[in-house]
Chain A
Amino acid sequence: MSDFLDEIEAAVPALRRYARALTRDIDRADDLVQDCIERAIRKRSLWQPTGPLQAWLFRMLLNIYRNDLRSRKRRGDHMPIEDMPAEPSTHAPQPGHLALAEVSRALDKISDDQREALLLVVVEGASYVDAAEMLGIPTGTLMSRLGRARAALRALTGNTEEPRLRTVK
């Protein structure tokens, strides 16, 4: 039990990051994470110790987030968009870098499905197989959402030209 709680604890910073990136609202994000932890504790008998706990937690967080999103849409709540701190002043956009504020705004405009997928892969560093599993979709669907998310961001940031290939890692 204690190991189980320790493992959840280790996953909390990433869960908060993902929830915040999805909602852009610190209180709402932390509510989702709290809900997720409570459910994990209540449902721990349903967790197969052989599977990765982190993936199970992300899957649960996503379910809670989607339900929350649905009920907010039903109620007609407005999503806070500009809760995000503006671009840190220390990071003046440099050639080859995208303006963070611009990317942040663009992220708000892409579809929920695309945002969920893109953030899991890019920010959480999930493998395609894990991300598809967490989102409950086939890998092929994940890849096409990723492609559409990237194309949409590209169109929204107006950054369609640009220089030669940079080395990737």
Chain B
Amino acid sequence: MSTGQSERTFEVTEDDLHAYADGQLDAARRPAVEAWLAARPERAAEVALWVRQGAALKALFDPIAAEPVPSRLKPHRIAALEKARRWDWMKAAAAACILIAVSGGAGWYLRSATWATEPASERLIDGAITAHSLYVKESRHAVEVAADDKSHLVTWLSNRLGRQIDTPDLSPQGFTLVGGRLLPALADTGTGPAAQFMYQNPTSNRVTVYVTAASTADHKPYEWEKKDGLDVYYWANDQITCTVVGDLPEAQMQTVAKGVYEQLTWRPDPAGRT
């Protein structure tokens, strides 16, 4: 179809000139660009200037990459600190759980002594358990909006909660999103309505994630308990409350809860960064 290369007129564009200056031009095009520039001294001078600009910028900034990296920028150190923080969280949660589980009646006594009225977190946990038990049994009506309409699901529920909520990706934990639904607000929680997301693994075990806007009534940061034969992880920050409910082996349940925690609790916080 095309005739010989030499016969084709070569259109030299601005992009070609930049690519030439940046060493990103195809070797095959170089001779043509060079010939074009040779006939246009003004443009050639301009391209030469670009090259010198680049050399100056490299001279200014290249040395930075050779500086020793301060320890606060060492990824291994940052990861270790992060892990330690998370372990503290887990240990505190585990301690709370053992206190309640082991001391049994005494634990319940302690609860009622410590919290004069039932805290919002308890109501939210109960709400999450009720919703979990009700809907995981459903096959055709397990969710209101199915995962194949995920962008609608996310937009809708984010709007109703007044928070940007993205469904956590639990595929590393072996769970896929089934879908979600909107649930009514619970009395005395100060959170507004709830979103429930349902996940399922290949053996049809289901886990639900119950999310509300942050509570105005209660600021309990986390809770971890077994209730009605279910494992429940609850936590809250200044944006949301989140309750993960499931009936899985403990280690697996922990991995799932951790996956949700990591993805859902962290929010970009450009202004508040110190």
Contacts and interface: CB of A to CB of B under 8 A. Distances in A.
Contacts of A38: 78, 82
Interface residues of A, number: 66
Contact of A45 (B45, B82, B169): B169
Interface in A137-169: 143, 146-147, 150, 153-154, 157, 159, 161-166, 168-169
Contacts, number: 153
B190 interface: no
A164 B44 contact: yes
Contacts of B48: 162-166
A8 B274 CA distance: 22
Given A21-B61, A103-B60, A127-B24, A67 B45 contact: no
The secondary structure that dominates the B interface is: helix
B51 A14 contact: no
29 contacts: A1-B79, A9-B74, A9-B76, A12-B69, A12-B75, A13-B66, A13-B67, A14-B65, A17-B62, A20-B61, A30-B72, A38-B82, A41-B82, A68-B273, A70-B270, A84-B60, A97-B55, A98-B52, A100-B60, A119-B57, A123-B58, A127-B24, A150-B53, A162-B48, A163-B45, A163-B48, A165-B44, A166-B48, A169-B23
Interface of A: 1-2, 5-6, 8-9, 12-14, 16-17, 20-21, 30-31, 33-35, 37-38, 40-43, 45-46, 63-64, 67-68, 70-71, 74, 84, 91, 96-100, 103-104, 107, 118-119, 121-123, 127-128, 143, 146-147, 150, 153-154, 157, 159, 161-166, 168-169
